[in-house]
């Protein structure tokens, strides 16, 4: 009889055991090694690091293993772990112009100083299932050819070319020294500065940001973008310990950066000029970086004197709903018992229906009497 909600503790423990069993799958097959996930599921690892806000491929791979490959669940694990980490320094801004580039393309110019570098991309693969990958024995150790000459050490950003002509807005002056908003330590506040917006987008759900970016190009935002540049590669992270007084490198991270060029027709005060949208993700995440750059630009409407008419331009709408850990938590919390509130609603609906029935009955009698 009345036992439906009882035994919660045992049910929870048993549920954990079931998850562990299902996670392992068929024990006759070899168990996945975290290193294998780092090496062979790298793009999944990159997404988990980006939205989990922790650059650590092994931890991200562990999270993916623990979450049975569910990216959002893995991001949740990494975020919760992140909360417990001490922060001993704030890095200097990374210098992507000094990046060891592996891929770099511009859609704005046919050729650019430093050249177009296709690098590793699925862009021109035909999406045909490759059954060789499923064959026993695998694919061995494929090796790409080496280029005849090495890439230059530093590749100037493509947007510098426009910058020299004043055709594009100046990049913000380096605000090093000023404190940057930290979304993971303070609550969002509106109107949000660009630091808040970019942090939010960087951590935001890839699908959500992609959908918003798409909407800006389909009439819900009037965006006419050109990819000034997408670049992928390794870049050094530097900190300046107070005791030292100068910067030291603490390691390299892989990042994908997108500089998006957008039209701006100008206002009475400002002549027409191209404007920027910026996107950055950990690892190889072009879809995310490009989407981020488009939505970043859309949300700059206020500062550029454009009317905010569409969802992607509405910073409260975008920033409040982009975080998948917040969204998932709230949407799934409706699974939790709500029977106290439901009971309250039941009581109300029953009362309203009873009153309605009485009213209809009374009206009927009145009508009969009138006839």
Partner 1 sequence: MSGARESGYNFAYLDEQTKRMIRRTLLKALAAPGYQAPFGGREMPLAYGWGTGGIQVTASVIGPEDVLKVIDQGADDTTNAVSIRRFFQLVADVETTEATEKATVIQTRHRIPEAPLEEGQIIVYQVPQPEPLRHLEPREVETRKMHAYAEYGLMQVRLYEDIARYGHIATTYDYPVMVNGRYLMAPSPIPKFDNPKMQDNPAIQLFGAGREKRIYAIPPYTSVRSLDFEDHPFRTQSWDQRCALCDADDSYLDEVITDDRGGRMFVCSDTDYCARRRANGHVGAQGAIDPVGEKTDALSGDAQ
Q: Is 347 in the site for partner 1 (CB under 8 A)?
A: yes
For the bound state, the minimum distance from the C-beta of residue 39 to partner 1, rounded and expressed in Å, comes to 28
> What is the CB-side half-sphere exposure of residue 39 using CA atoms within 13 A?
6
Which one of 29, 30, 84, 219 is in contact with partner 1 (CB under 8 A)?
84
Number of other residues whose CB lies within 10 A of the CB of residue 60:
32
Report residue 214: phi and psi, to 5°. Answer: -60, -45
Nearest one of 273, 316, 312 to 296, comparing CA atoms: 312
Within residues 306-325, the interface with partner 1 by CB under 8 A covers 316, 320, 325
Nearer to partner 1, 97 or 321 (CB): 321
In angstroms, the CA 57 to CA 38 distance is: 6
Examine residue 128 and tell whether it contacts partner 1 (CB under 8 A): no
Rounded CA gap, 164 and 157, in Å?
12
Which is it for the CA torsion 209, 210, 213, 215, positive or negative? negative
DSSP secondary structure string, 213-256?
Answer: HHHHTTTSS---EEEEEEEEEEEEEEE--TTT-S-EEEEEEEEE
| Options 19, 43, 80, 250; binder of partner 1; rule CB under 8 A | 80
- Number of residues lying near partner 1 (CB under 8 A): 52
Exactly one of 118, 154, 352, 357 binds partner 1 (CB under 8 A); that residue is 352
Residues 135-164 that bind partner 1 (CB under 8 A): none
Tokens coding 83 = 């909360």
> Which range, of 7-15, 207-215, 244-252, 255-263, touches partner 1 by CB under 8 A?
7-15
The residue from 9, 22, 136, 174 that contacts partner 1 (CB under 8 A) is 9
Within residues 187-226, the interface with partner 1 by CB under 8 A covers: 187-191
User: Would you tell me which residues interact with partner 1 (CB under 8 A)?
Assistant: 1-12, 76, 79-80, 82-84, 86, 184-191, 316, 320, 325-326, 328-333, 336-341, 343-348, 351-352, 355
């Amino acid at each position: 009889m009345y036992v439906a909600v009882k035994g919660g503790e045992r049910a929870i423990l048993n549920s954990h055991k079931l998850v562990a069993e299902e996670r392992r799958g068929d024990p006759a097959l070899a168990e996945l090694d975290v290193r294998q996930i780092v090496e062979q599921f790298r793009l999944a690892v990159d997404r988990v690091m980006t939205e989990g806000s922790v650059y650590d491929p092994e931890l991200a791979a562990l999270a993916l293993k623990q979450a049975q490959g569910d990216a959002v669940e893995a991001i949740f694990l990494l975020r919760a772990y992140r909360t417990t980490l001490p922060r001993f320094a704030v890095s200097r801004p990374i210098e992507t112009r000094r990046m060891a580039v592996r891929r770099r393309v511009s859609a704005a110019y046919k050729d650019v100083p430093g050249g177009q570098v296709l690098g590793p991309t699925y862009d021109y693969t035909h999406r045909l299932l490759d059954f060789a990958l499923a064959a026993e024995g695998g694919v061995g150790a494929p090796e790409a050819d080496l280029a005849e000459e090495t890439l230059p050490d530093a590749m100037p950003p493509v947007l510098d070319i426009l910058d020299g002509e004043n055709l594009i807005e100046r990049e913000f002056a380096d605000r090093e020294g000023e404190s940057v908003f930290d979304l993971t330590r303070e609550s969002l506040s509106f109107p949000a500065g660009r630091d808040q917006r970019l942090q939010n987008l960087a951590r935001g759900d890839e699908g959500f940001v992609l959908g918003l970016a798409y909407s800006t190009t389909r009439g819900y935002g009037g965006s006419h973008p050109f990819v000034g540049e997408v670049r992928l590669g390794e870049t050094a992270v530097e900190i300046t310990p107070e005791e030292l007084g100068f910067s030291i490198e603490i390691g390299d991270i892989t990042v994908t950066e997108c500089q998006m060029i957008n039209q701006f027709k100008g206002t009475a005060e400002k002549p027409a000029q191209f404007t920027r949208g910026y996107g950055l993700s950990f690892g190889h995440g072009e879809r995310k970086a490009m989407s981020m750059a488009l939505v970043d630009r859309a949300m700059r409407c206020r500062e550029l004197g454009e009317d905010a008419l569409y969802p992607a331009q509405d910073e409260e709408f975008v920033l409040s709903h982009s975080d998948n850990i917040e969204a998932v938590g709230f949407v799934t919390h409706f699974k939790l018992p709500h029977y106290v509130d439901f009971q309250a609603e039941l009581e109300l609906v029953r009362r309203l229906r009873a009153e309605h029935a009485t009213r209809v009955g009374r009206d009927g009698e009145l009508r009969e009497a009138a006839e």
